[in-house]
Chain A
Amino acid sequence: MDVHQAIESLKNEMGRMRDERKNKLSMVVFSGDLDKLLAAFIIATGAAAMGLEVVQFFTFWATPALRDKKKKGRGKNLFGKMFGFMLPKGAGKVKLSKMHMGGMGTAMIKHLMKKKKVASLQELINLSAEMGVRIYICEMSMDLMGFKQEEMIDYPGREFVGVAKFLEEAGDSKIQLFI
């Protein structure tokens, strides 16, 4: 086979592969820990500032962080009520993965963040909304934990989806993360 021809066809193939991936970041947000959620939103807002399209897929333990503390889900069964009671109600209630120390560690880090002007989780969520970061919420996690759509935060463009929707977004993203 002609070497030049082979190189040419490889070049074309590579160009085609490059073109299929967009300037987009797709992120699975799995953890419900304050520190990991902060990281997820700092990366998301930073990426949006860099001109990337950003999609976050909230699943499992991260789902309760998007509950609205002022809202209530109606018609829950016993398990739904139990999960609702045991899991944090919104971004203000999530805990550190380490050094929580019965609430002391989490309170201390929040105090330090304020002092050092690090944006709080709630501020980062508001900023994400402002910057057009899209949030997908895993329908299966919602159902499993008995969360109702009406108890989740109002977020522009918020969608309740399954794994295929996330994979469609991840498939043509330059960057994919799991947090």
Chain B
Amino acid sequence: MSDAIKPDITMDLKGMACPMPVVKVSQQIKKMQIGQVLAAETTDPGAYADFPAWAKSTGNEIISTDKKENVTTFYIKKIK
């Protein structure tokens, strides 16, 4: 599924620990346009719970999640 998604920006957050993945994504998404997609690559196990919670609170959407070995990529669409 994720092959079809062309992210506008990809962020390498591998190795980063809480709260950095969410902090970095929140800073990046502020600079983007509505409708653009951000791909966040993370190895933080907490990210599974954190990104959906962050998206819900900030009104953005996780359109896809892709797990390859220990790297999970969240595709986040800027909604507002």
Contacts and interface: CB of A to CB of B under 8 A. Distances in A.
A42 B18 contact: yes
B76 to A, nearest CB: 13
Interface string B51-63: 0011001100000
B64 to A, nearest CB: 21
A42 B23 CA distance: 10
Interface in B1-57: 15-20, 22-23, 25-27, 53-54, 57
Contacts of A46: 18-19, 22-23
B15 A49 contact: no
B50 to A, nearest CB: 8
B22 A117 contact: no
Q: How large is the interface on A (under 10, 10 to 19, 20 to 34, 35 or more residues)?
A: 10 to 19
B17 A51 contact: no
A49 B17 contact: no
A49 B54 contact: yes
A158 B13 CA distance: 31
Q: How large is the interface on B (under 10, 10 to 19, 20 to 34, 35 or more residues)?
A: 10 to 19
Contact of A50 (B16, B17, B20, B54): B54
A99 interface: no
Given A51-B57, A51-B58, A127 B15 contact: no
A131 B23 contact: yes
B22 A49 contact: yes
Interface in A43-57: 45-46, 48-51
Interface of A: 42, 45-46, 48-51, 116-119, 127, 131
Given A50-B57, A116-B17, 20 more contacts: A42-B19, A45-B19, A45-B23, A46-B19, A48-B23, A48-B26, A49-B19, A49-B22, A49-B23, A49-B27, A50-B22, A50-B53, A50-B54, A117-B15, A117-B16, A117-B17, A117-B20, A119-B17, A119-B20, A127-B23
Interchain residue pairs A-B with the least CB separation, the first 4: A49-B26, A46-B19, A118-B17, A50-B57
15 contacts: A45-B19, A46-B18, A46-B22, A49-B19, A49-B25, A49-B54, A50-B26, A50-B54, A51-B26, A51-B57, A117-B16, A117-B20, A118-B18, A119-B19, A131-B23
